[in-house]
Amino acid sequence: MDAQQFLGMTRRDEHSWSFVVTERLITPGQFLFGGCGLAAGLVALEGASGRPTIWATAQYLTYAPPNSEVIVTTQLVVQGGHVTQARATAFVNERELLTVNAALGTGHLDAPSPWVAMPVVPEPDDCPPRHLPFGLGESIFEHVDSRVALGRTFEELDGTLGSPVSAIWARVPGHFEPSAATLAIFGDYVSGGATQPLGQRALGHSLDNTIRVARLEPTEWVLCEIHMHALAGGFAQGTAFLWSQTGTLLATASQSIASKIWEPRAL
């Protein structure tokens, strides 16, 4: 299953796609998972440009509820010899849902290795499953397998302050060829990253979501190494390094997040 199949995207014409917000694409709060929105924009832009993603950022404007149809349109603004600058806009019920700005293309200069190193963590089979506490029915987290590689499980949160650095192994079962779209979904784990340093279950609603692709290679699991930078006035900031199982840096992700402590009535 590739990202297009996971999202259920259908191409309407040369410049537009559509998909339905099914249960496997929603958050426990019952709206489209932000990473899936960015991923849909990347599927559309790569299809329209014929080039791979270098960088993309999404600004989230409103929510898409379950069973709604999302229309994604593309605009190739500048097409150069190596880079295409482009924009995708998603609509739900004729309202603008999100905007994705991106650069797509390839170059020739490479460094032999990344300038950061993958942390030493247990293998996925040796890590506990990441069970969410919400108990609100099906969401994307029942369709993406995730394991806590560094940090505390939700059951271990006791209100004490912890490290701002955590890590999660994630995979879409049966998906071994990560794409920019897949990594955009995994990168959205940053939205819940404030839980670890706060020591409490925190909700995070993404205001923006950025992905920068380094190098793609086949891997069953992706390690999301999350670094939270700050939380002030209800808004958190964080980044993630996304690693293959062999230690290749696949991409980096970053977000601004509207954060609050989880309470049943908050959803």
Can you give the pLDDT at residue 174? 79
E strand or H helix at 108: none
| Domain 3-105+123-266 -> CATH class | mainly beta
C-alpha distances in Å from residue 251, one per residue of 118, 171, 185, 187, 248: 12, 15, 12, 9, 9
List, for the chain, all residue ranges whose pLDDT scores fall below the cut of 70. 133-137, 264-267
What are the sequence ranges of the domains in the chain? 3-105+123-266
Q: State pTM to two decimals.
A: 0.94
Tell me which residue has tokens 């969410």: 132
Can you give the pLDDT at residue 135? 57
Phi and psi for 205 in degrees, rounded to 5?
A: -110, 115
Can you give the pLDDT at residue 19? 98
Q: How confident is the model over 211-226, as pLDDT tens digits?
A: 999 999 999 999 999 9
Can you give the pLDDT at residue 136? 56
Can you give the pLDDT at residue 68? 97
